[in-house]
Structure 1
């Protein structure tokens, strides 16, 4: 199950843009942000989402929790979706970086295990799942989610697989995008349905999709 397809399979699908390794700029407006206030807003949005869910999350509630004026938030972010995307991007970069060193089958396996933990045990994983769900019926969320989070991370994951293939570490049975879909899709599906992610699922996916076939 491809994450791009999760976001774009319903009405309001966003056209794919040319692939690029550069991360799109985040929304900036108004006066320069005070870093402490910015972080307070991001943390407040993250906490409130986990506590009350996406539907109950409001700019007013975020402002109260962060101790800033609502007008200040609107000068910095156009919507709660953009606040959550900032939170997701920053937390993913810190706690779930795509391996940048010498690629191995084991480093890919570890990355996928980390992704499973991120989805089920990290507040930012809850943000990711909430945005996937919201993107199904909100074209604006789908577009921003794809441009700001999914596409840049997909570029990094595709590069990881390509480097591992070149190093002779893996021999995928599918093309790069289909391989990524097949690896992360089951993890996202399990997390979205609340079924839990089986402990041996990552190992099974890696063995079946990435390891060289016996001759």
Structure 2
């Protein structure tokens, strides 16, 4: 006798999920995080608002999934690889700090709040915000080039760097001049 598993509630549509994520990314790019609403996402994706809430409890959660899926803020997900780790990390952090100064801090604050409410969002954000294969790949490249010790744990380094960036985002006001280089120097040693 074959037993099938049934879940309660409406069946989730992968096409609707993708439409919602793509609509969120489009609206985020044109309006910014502060002007993004669940109603606007629903209208743009041609779905009911309840469809969005079936999968995501808040706009922060939708944006987090957009980031994880690579639909949003891709340019901030990994540092360049010019062959100089310190220069690359400083340029990457400087770009992120500039984004934070131009409205991105409210996004980060909201994502942190969402991650506190729902630990699964925090796990997914950790995957998206640099503690992932993109930053680790850059660190592995630096190991191969002799710029980063192979005995240093790359995952811990990535967490320290991203954690410091998040703390700067949570602080009120812009970062001080030269903050990116100071932060990289402090973490690299």
TM-score category of the 2 structures, normalised to the smaller one: 0.5 to 0.7
**Secondary structure of the structure 1 residue equivalent to 2:131:** helix
Contact 1:135/1:142, CA 8 A, preserved across alignment: yes
Q: Which residue does 2:122 correspond to in 1?
A: 145
TM value normalised by structure 2: 0.67
Q: Which residue does 2:183 correspond to in 1?
A: 205
Cα displacement (A) at 1:31: 5.7
Cα displacement (A) at 1:43: 4.1
Matched, 1:112 2:89: no
> What is the alpha-carbon root mean square deviation over aligned residues?
3.6
- Going from structure 1 to structure 2, the CA distance change for 1:31 and 1:202 (only over 3 Å counts) comes to closer
- Going from structure 1 to structure 2, the CA distance change for 1:100 and 1:117 (only over 3 Å counts) comes to closer
Matching residue within 70, 84, 97 for 2:49: 70
Q: 1:208, 1:173 → 2: CA distance?
A: 18
Matching residue within 68, 75, 79 for 2:57: 79
Contact 1:48/1:62, CA 8 A, preserved across alignment: no
Contact 1:42/1:83, CA 8 A, preserved across alignment: no
Contact 1:40/1:66, CA 8 A, preserved across alignment: yes
Q: 1:115, 1:166 → 2: CA distance?
A: 26
Give the number of equivalent residue pairs: 172
Matching residue within 12, 23, 44 for 1:29: 12
Identify which of structures 1 and 2 has the higher relative contact order when contacts are C-alpha pairs closer than 8 Å and 6+ apart: 1
Matched, 1:126 2:106: yes
Q: 1:64, 1:71 → 2: CA distance?
A: 12
Show structure 2 runs of 5+ residues with no match.
Answer: 1-10
Contact 1:96/1:115, CA 8 A, preserved across alignment: yes
